[in-house]
Amino acid sequence: MPETRYLSALDVEALHVFIMEKTGDAPSPLRDRALLESAVIRAQMAAHYASADLVEQCVVLAVGISQAQAFVDGNKRTAFVAADVFLRVNGLLFSGDPLELARQLEAVASRAGSLEEATAGFVGWLRGHISSR
């Protein structure tokens, strides 16, 4: 099995610029580099300490970026594109509706239950919407 490729905080910053410009907005300032670095490293920690697979790591990455609010604006958009790139560089493709993925991120953010329950629901949903390249 090939080694998992992870995104760095600098990668995510570049993806932020890309998605903001693509959606017609100016890139937003980084409010807190430590928050972004923490969000990005969580996927690796999930793999190491919780034996998370690629889908679980992807969700941890997306939720981490979305909830960290490291950028002034565009955090969910950045989380979406980072999740997509993470899957692609690791040989998987997201084949679902991008708007539904955004709704899944929103559901985690506005959860009524625990973060673990909301994240588990997101993982289950994402598993049904990815394929191997």
If one looks up domain 9-132 in CATH, what number appears? 1.20.120.1870
Domain ranges of the chain: 9-132
Distances from the Cα of 81 to the Cα of 11, 26, 60, angstroms: 11, 16, 14
The pLDDT of residue 2 is: 83
Q: What percentage of the chain has pLDDT greater than the value 90?
A: 80
Rounded CA-CA distance 2/4 in Å is 6
Look up residue 88 and give its two tokens: 């692609």
72 contacts 31 by C-beta, under 8 angstroms: yes
The pLDDT of residue 107 is: 85
Kindly report, residue by residue over 53-79, the tens digit of the pLDDT.
Answer: 999 999 999 999 999 999 999 999 999
